[in-house]
Copies of this chain bind each other. A is one copy, B any other.
Amino acid sequence: MLKYQAVAHKILTHIEENKLQKGDKLESIEALAERYETSKNTIIKALDVLDSKGIIYQVRGSGIFVRGHKRKGYINLLEMKEVTSSLKNFNTQTEVLALEVQISEAEIEANLELEDKAELYYVKRLHAIEGRPFSIEESYYLKEFVPYLNQEIAEASIFDYLERDLELGFAFVDHFMRIVTLAPENRQLLNLRRQKSGLLIESVYSLKNGRPFNYKKTLFHPDEAQFFVMGQNEF
């Protein structure tokens, strides 16, 4: 992690720990540089990161303000890694429905930009929040990058395992969203009776060099899935 990223992380922690709200003002760049014992330049770069993530906004001649919003229970789509880690303040459960090594099929090859067949870890999991079914996740990891997975890892956080144990952090992700009609077995897993639609998010995670290594399809319960994204108008 680069210096300015570490400082950005510290400022974010400060905002979270002090439960700062939308419109709350941060210290000046000079004061922040002093507090975090770094240069004004590093603070400016750290603030740019927080700005691009929708955490703060900067008003020229006026100051730096917390952006935030007031809605509870919405998941930040761009911060979403795994349901369990995205909903820290809730009691979450993960059930592993399948875990096996597969050979890639056409759909996976297209999404992972594979030119040949490849070995993959396939993991299917059911996530629940406070005992209520929340999402069905099917995830495909290229074995070239993720040589080992087991039940215990899949029951916890696969992302944590990738980052901590394999030092395999993704650099960027593309999410594709649409409403789909749920198959009967998925309606049963999500405990749906009358409703037939769910939200499908397909996600492709790539490494720093642009290489996709993880393709994921997540079906969300129509009443439970609430997402937000924050945008800037830079052009």
Which residues in A have some Cβ–Cβ distance to B below 8 Å? 1, 5, 8-9, 12, 22-23, 48-49, 52-54, 57, 59-60, 62, 65, 67, 69-71, 74, 77-79, 110, 169-179, 195-199, 204, 206, 208-210, 222-223, 225-235
Given A54-B174, A67-B172, list of 19 further CB < 8 A pairs? A8-B235, A23-B210, A48-B48, A52-B52, A54-B172, A57-B172, A57-B206, A57-B208, A62-B209, A69-B204, A77-B231, A172-B230, A173-B230, A176-B226, A177-B226, A177-B227, A178-B227, A179-B179, A179-B199
A12 CB → nearest B CB, Å: 8
Q: In the bound complex, what is the Cα–Cα distance between A122 and B173 (angstroms)?
A: 36
Using Cβ atoms and an 8 Å threshold, which residues of chain B touch A57? 171-172, 206, 208, 210
Contact B226 A175 (CB under 8 A): no
Q: How many copies does the complex hold?
A: 2
Instruction: List 23 A-B residue pairs with CB atoms under 8 Å apart, sorted by A's residue number.
Output: A5-B235, A8-B235, A12-B235, A49-B234, A54-B174, A57-B171, A57-B206, A57-B208, A59-B209, A74-B176, A171-B233, A173-B233, A174-B229, A175-B228, A175-B230, A176-B227, A177-B227, A177-B228, A177-B229, A178-B225, A178-B227, A179-B222, A195-B197
Q: How far is the CB of A85 from chain B (nearest CB, A)?
A: 12
Q: Within the assembled complex, what's the spacing in Å between the Cα atoms of A47 and B49?
A: 14
Closest to A69 in B: B174
Beta-carbon contact of B229 and A78 below 8 Å: yes
In the complex the two chains form, what is the Cα distance from A206 to B56 in whole Å? Answer: 13
State A70–B110 Cα separation when bound (angstroms). 9
Q: Please judge, given known A-B contacts A49-B234, A233-B169, whether A210 and B176 are in contact too, CB under 8 Å.
A: no
Which of B198, B206, B230 is within 8 Å of A179, CB to CB? Answer: B198
Output the least CB separation between A55 and chain B (Å): 11
* Min CB gap A2→B, angstroms: 10
Q: Chain B residue with minimal CB distance to A80?
A: B231
Task: Collect the chain B residues with CB atoms within 8 Å of residue A67's CB.
Answer: 172, 210
